[in-house]
Amino acid sequence: MPIYESGEVTLYMSGYFSANQVNAGGDTEMRDGASRLRLGLNVPAYGDWDTGFNLEWGVRAISSASPLLIQGNQQASFGDRDLSLFLRQGHGFAKHDCWGDFVLGKQWAVYYDVAGWTDWYEISGGLASGAYSLNTDGGVLGTGRADSAISWRRRWDLFGGEFQLGLQYQAHTQSLELNVVGVDLGIEGLEPENTEIVCPDGDCEFGLGHSISMTYRANVGDGLQFGTAYNRMKLDIESTRGRVFDISDPLNPELVISDFHITASSNAWAWVAGVNYGKGPYQQGFYGALVYQHSHNNQLAPPGLVDSIDNFFNAKGSESIITYTWGAKDCYSVYGGHNYLRSDDAQFEAALIDANSFRLRKYYLGFQYQWNERVTLYTENTIDDSNRIGRIFSGDVIAVGFRVDI
């Protein structure tokens, strides 16, 4: 919605407020949805370039506490989880029909060009595509709302359809807090099970990240689209100030060495492929989408689930959504689908304390009523078929809610 226009600039505001009455685990409470407020500025520039910026904040108006994790799109970055107002996006852009779209800053990742096809549930979802990596907004690893990213996208007409290529680069997005218990460092008198090694703050970090996405939309029926994306982030694990503790007495750990040399190299990566058909989610008629992902060090188990190793783990997962929309002004929609995520990491599974794998499997069924062009009412149910540790992510959910668009 434009709030100021002149011959040189357009300033606009968009976003929505949503709230949900959620019953999860037998408890019923009012919860924030993925409410947001966005400001943007468009400035026509020299030679048919369109430039400007976008700023978007997530808003928790009902409660500033960390939300119940039933939807990936609710998630904030590591430091913003308990804030009532937190940054979702902040970037500048320059767009040209010939040279493509350049974006610098916090933005939707090129990985999300494919992973986002199934991220359209009103209350739940987004838990298995790899987009919201490390149980955050995907900013650090560059799979969701990527931090400190530079991206380029370009579209071409090809074989009667449209092909899009996306590229992304990130650098040094955040320090990596690393502590590992149960490693054999060969220190005399120190048993592996009583050993904890800590990389001091500022030494280990998430390093350089690169991403690519490719999508093709064919002119078949209401539109058939295929796509794939790959994201890779280097983990720089190197320090001359590694701290080694004897934790035989967990309440009083004893510092043994303060200058242990840590030298290791690892990566976090995620690959996703998908297909969708239709005009779009909640658009007239049928829309269906399916994505599949395989990832390495892209998922993070909640604290306390594993013994002796860090809680990064490798995973495979899939998501789907189907919507059917009909009625006067396309006001009625039914929708459903699934999220399925499982660990694919023998070392991680062996270290789990109370299970032999991590499995999250959820089925969704919902109904949406478009009251008018700005107000939407909906109900959504989640059937949880996860194992015990997968049920940490909320369990069965029955919910109703509303959304008011600006």
Q: How confident is the model over 346-398, as pLDDT tens digits?
A: 888 888 877 888 999 999 999 999 999 999 999 999 999 998 888 776 678 99
More confident: 59 or 78? 59
Question: Please, where are the H alpha helices in 197-253?
Answer: none
Q: What is the mean pLDDT of residues 21-48?
A: 88
Amino acid 285 reads G
* Inter-residue contact 379 to 335 (CB < 8 Å): no
Please tell me the predicted confidence (pLDDT) of residue 296: 95
Q: What is the pLDDT of residue 264?
A: 66
Buried b (16+ CB within 10 A) or exposed e, 364-387: bebbbebeeeeebebbbbbebebe
Whether the CB-CB separation of 148 and 169 falls below 8 Å is answered with no
Comparing C-alpha atoms, which of 128, 245, 232 is closest to residue 181? 245
Task: Please give the pLDDT value at position 77.
Answer: 62
Q: What is the pLDDT of residue 182?
A: 64
Residue whose tokens read 């400190």: 148
Q: For residue 108, what pLDDT is reported?
A: 97
User: Model confidence at 71, in pLDDT bands (50, 70, 90)?
Assistant: low
> Which pLDDT value is given to residue 206?
82
Distance CA 292, CA 340 (A): 9
- Segment among 63-67, 134-138, 163-167, 206-210 with least mean pLDDT: 63-67
- Cα separation, 404 vs 273, in Å, equals 32
DSSP 394: -
Could you tell me what percent of the chain has a pLDDT over 90? 57
Q: What is the pLDDT of residues 78-97, one digit of tens each?
A: 556 667 889 999 999 999 99
Name which of 16-25, 70-79, 99-108, 133-142 the model is least confident about: 70-79
Q: Confidence band (pLDDT; 50, 70, 90) for 401?
A: very high
- Using a pLDDT cut of 70, give the percent of the chain over it: 90
Written as six digits, the tokens of 114 are: 């494919």
Residue 375 DSSP SS3: strand
Mean pLDDT of 118-140: 92
The pair phi, psi for residue 391, each rounded to 5°, is -75, -5
pLDDT band at residue 170, thresholds of 50, 70 and 90?
Answer: very high
Q: What is the pLDDT of residue 246?
A: 87
Query: What's the pLDDT at 309?
Result: 59
Four-residue CA torsion sign, 174, 272, 361, 356: negative
Q: Which of 28-42, 228-242, 298-312, 382-396 has the lowest average pLDDT?
A: 298-312
Average pLDDT of span 220-246: 89
Length of the chain: 406
Every domain of the chain and the residues it spans:
2-405
Q: What is the pLDDT of residue 45?
A: 84
pLDDT score, position 350: 85
Question: What's the CA gap between 77 and 88, in Å, rounded?
Answer: 9
The model carries a pTM of 0.89
The confidence score (pLDDT) of residue 169 equals 98
Tokens representing 214? 């490719």
Listing DSSP states for 265-312 in one string gives EEEEEEEEEEEEESS-TTSSEEEEEEEEEEEEEEEEPPTTSBSSS-SE
42: pLDDT strictly greater than 80: yes
Contact 34/74 with Cβ under 8 angstroms? Answer: yes
Computed over every residue of the chain, the mean pLDDT equals: 88
Q: CATH code for 2-405?
A: 2.40.160.10
Which of 206, 207, 205, 198 lies closest to 241, judged by CA?
A: 198
What average pLDDT score do residues 24-46 get? 88
**CA separation, residue 155 to residues 107, 158, 217, 243 (Å):** 19, 9, 11, 50
Contacts of 379 (CB under 8 A, 6+ apart): 366, 367, 399, 400, 401
* pLDDT at residue 339 is higher than 70: yes
